[in-house]
Amino acid sequence: MILRAIVSAGLASLPAILAPAVIAPAVGAQEPPALLATSQYLFVVRGNWVYQYDVDTLVLRGKAAIPAGRTPAARSGRRAGAVQLTDRLPKQVIRIDDVTNKKPKDKPKAKMIGTEISVGGGAGGRFGGRGGKIKGPSGKVSGRAIQNGLKWLASHQDESGRWDADGFMKHDKGKKSTGAGNPVHDVGATGLAMLAMLGDGSTLRSGPYKDNLKRATKWLQEQQHKNGRFGTNASHDFIYDHAIATYAMSEAYGLSAYKMLKKSAQGGINYLESHRNPYSVWRYQPRDNDNDISVTSWCLMALASGQFFKLQVNPNAIKLGLTYLDQVSTPDGRHGYTKQGEGSSRMPGKHATQFPIEKGEALTAAGLFCRFFLKQDPKDKPVMKAAADRIAAKPPQWSKDGTIDYYYWYYGTYAMFQMGGQHWRTWNKNLNHALTKHQVQTGSAAGSWDPSGVWGKIGGRVCSTALAVLSLEASYRYTRLVR
């Protein structure tokens, strides 16, 4: 059944804390049921009864009769179909504080984006839901893994707002955990942690991690230079950190409807434009005519987010990004690092032996998700289906033979979710097994993931955990972009 958001006059009188969740089917000959979804329960109003279901299992938790005369039809002057749940939900079934666990000052405002309702946190618009609810048989386990991961991230944030890539263990209680990353990547680590919290529905206005996000955005603003760049350019790969921070700042600005962040988010996008090669895309140094798909993917994600939230983005940058994806991909679906047929990069020395490039398809996954995010459709681009098949042949596996790759799993998960069908079901099953079975359960690192993957020594435990959480959030962070 096709559902539509109720945006009639009746919506205005709903309590603001409930309004974003109210949906109802198209009006038919009989009064349709009304639905209300929260992070814990699904409420269905049908006839003179309201039913309360567990949102994970759809097990009926209870029902109650609606007092006579309290249905919309009984109230004069009401347009048909403008369901008011305030008229219909008996107090013995639902209390607002039970559903939201939020104080009234935290309640989000509903706003319209296109034809969908969006909450100032990730529950509508292009987002499919919130609250750690993964579809499938392992949903509850995945939900707990997400929440434990987010709690670990929150407890390891500096008071200044930064996530310290190499010094996070200063926040450990008891024996210090291991897994330091490279100290030059604090900006990128902070951006990834922010994205993980935003992906679960928190914003600067609401949610359990709103204060963490406020501190993080403040710290990133303090690291931003007049030219818009986040952080220094001391490391050769600083553009990764900047692109991720720009992506996070754009999402924080748009999802929070926080106008004070607009200048900072726009500045980050402006720097990406100044860094981009003329008539092409991005790599490490600004405008040096060198390009690669790995850096470019993060930059394109930041631009797509900015474009979605009405920031100024050069449309030619998007077009040239898609052109570059075509230039480095082959009909069999592989997306090359800097040219057709080229595998993923590795660091000098034994890194390539420890993590053989044939174990994954990280750059194919990055390219495929970017194609989806930039509105390409597999029906029009056969290379997308071929890419999905390549990725499906190398699903997530937790093995010491070099298969652990959070970077690959992140992009692969989002790409396969967009593909849907068997591609998604098989990938998701393998991902859930790999991540939920290997999340640290004890000690100071409980809730995090060991930086055992390909780039673990670069990003460390903070980036590894943020990428793992983001991967588990995939089924509700974005809706499917192609129908």
Report the distance separating Cα 355 and Cα 351, nearest Å: 6
- Alpha helices by DSSP H, 170-314: 186-199, 210-222, 238-256, 262-275, 293-308
206-237 pLDDT, tens digit each: 999 999 999 999 999 999 999 999 999 999 99
Segment 250-272, tens digit of pLDDT:
999 999 999 999 999 999 999 99
Residue with tokens 């420890």: 354
Is the pLDDT assigned to residue 130 strictly greater than 70? no
* 333 neighbors 389 (Cβ within 8 angstroms): yes
For residue 367, the Cα-to-chain-centroid distance in whole angstroms is 17
**Residue 379: burial class (beta carbons within 10 Å; 0-12, 13-18, 19+):** exposed
Q: How many CB atoms lie within 10 A of CB 446?
A: 14
Query: Binning pLDDT at 50, 70 and 90, where does residue 128 land?
Result: very low
Taking the alpha carbons of 301, 303, 304, 306 in that order, is the dihedral positive or negative? positive
Structure tokens belonging to residue 292: 């690669």
Q: What pLDDT, in 10s, does the model give residues 277-299?
A: 999 999 999 999 999 999 999 99
> Angle 18-247-149 (CA atoms, 0-180°, nearest 5)?
65
Angle between helices 210-222 and 238-256 (to 10 degrees): 130
Distances (CA, A) of 415 to 233, 294, 385, 410: 31, 15, 11, 9
The per-residue pLDDT for 33 is: 64
DSSP string across 130-176: -SS--SSTTHHHHHHHHHHHHHHHHHT--TTS---TTTGGGG-SSSP
Cβ-proximal residues to 29 (8 Å cutoff; 6+ apart), any chain: none
| Average pLDDT taken over every residue of the chain | 81
Q: Per-residue pLDDT tens for 95-124? A: 323 333 344 444 444 332 222 222 333 323
Alpha-carbon radius of gyration of the chain: 23
What CA–CA distance (Å, rounded) separates 434 from 432? 6
Residue 26: Cβ-neighbour burial (10 angstroms; 0-12, 13-18, 19+):
exposed
CA distance 228 to 69: 59
Instruction: Round to whole Å and give the CA distance between 197 and 252.
Output: 10
Q: How far apart are CA 328 and CA 345, in angstroms?
A: 14
Residue 479, pLDDT score: 79
Residues in contact with 58: Cβ distance below 8 Å, sequence separation at least 6, in sequence order: 42
Helix orientation angle between 238-256 and 262-275, rounded to the nearest 10 degrees: 150
* Poorest-pLDDT segment among 21-30, 182-191, 371-380: 21-30
Cα–Cα distance between 39 and 380 in angstroms, integer? Answer: 36
The CA distance from 327 to 190, in Å, is 32
pLDDT of residue 18: 33
What's the confidence (pLDDT) of residue 45? 78
SS3 241: helix
Where does 309-420 have alpha helices with state H? 315-328, 351-354, 362-373, 382-392, 406-419
pLDDT at 153 over 60: yes
pLDDT, residue 6, reads 29
> 308 or 54, which is more confident?
308
- pLDDT reading at 411 higher than 50: yes
Q: What is the pLDDT of residue 34?
A: 73
Q: Helix, strand or coil for residue 41? A: strand
For residues 121 and 469, what is the distance between their CA atoms, to the nearest angstrom? 17
- The closest alpha carbon to 22, from 36, 10, 9, belongs to 36
Structure-block tokens of residue 134: 């993964």
- Written as one string, the DSSP assignment of 11-36 is GGGS-TTTGGGEEEEPP-SSPPPEEE
Structure tokens at 214: 């406020």
Distance of alpha carbon 257 from alpha carbon 308, whole angstroms: 13
Residue bearing tokens 């998700």: 369
Judge contact between 410 and 471, C-beta under 8 A: yes
Q: Flag whether pLDDT at 172 surpasses 90.
A: yes
pLDDT of residue 49: 72
Tens of pLDDT along 439-477? 999 999 999 999 999 999 999 999 999 999 999 999 888
Q: How far is CA 159 from the centre of its chain?
A: 24
More confident residue, 132 or 257: 257
**Domains along the chain with CATH numbers:** 3-107 (no CATH), 139-477 (1.50.10.20)
pLDDT over 50 (residue 344)? yes
Q: Which one-letter DSSP state was computed for residue 54?
A: E
